[in-house]
Amino acid sequence: DMKVTQMPRYLIKRMGENVLLECGQDMSHETMYWYRQDPGLGLQLIYISYDVDSNSEGDIPKGYRVSRKKREHFSLILDSAKTNQTSVYFCASSPLPGNSDYTFGSGTRLLVI
């Protein structure tokens, strides 16, 4: 069963702490994404990764960075988390450049207090 796995599912962090969100996929997809979902705003693209060490900013990259050292694994890092980064974070993958056939993870619900 092809899937995108996100860990953890739920996370509570204090303002100023570092946060690591992890995403894995078992489909050998080249392209991976991090989105955040906020009520009334839909999904907003944070970062896109075209392959190992080939990452590009999305629409809202400020306050985030990413790491992709293996094709199957894509991490989202928040250095010194802020309360306005409280959100649900979704990872997704797609097979080829130019292919919008996304597979989404189940999301990580992050609360920054």
Partner 1 sequence: GEQVEQLPSSLIVQEGASVLINCSYTDSASVYFPWYKQEPGKRLQFIIDIRSNMERKQNQRLTLLFDKKTKHLSLHITATQPGDSAIYFCSASRMPNYNVLYFGSGTKLTVEP
Q: Which spans of this chain sit near partner 1 (rule: CB under 8 A)?
A: 4, 31, 33, 35, 40-45, 48, 50, 58-59, 90, 92, 94, 97-102, 104-107
Residue 18 or 84 with smaller CB distance to partner 1: 84
Residue 7 or 102 with smaller CB distance to partner 1: 102
In the complex, minimum distance from the CB of residue 63 to partner 1, in angstroms, rounded to a whole number:
19
**Of 79, 74, 54, nearest to 64 (Cα)?**
79
- In a 13 Å sphere around the CA of 66, the CA atoms on its Cβ side amount to 27
Residue 92 or 112 with smaller CB distance to partner 1: 92
Alpha carbons 63 and 24: distance in angstroms, whole number: 22
In the complex, minimum distance from the CB of residue 67 to partner 1, in angstroms, rounded to a whole number:
19
In the complex, minimum distance from the CB of residue 98 to partner 1, in angstroms, rounded to a whole number:
4
Buried-state track 85-98, b at ≥16 Cβ within 10 A, e below 16: bbbbbbbbbbeeee
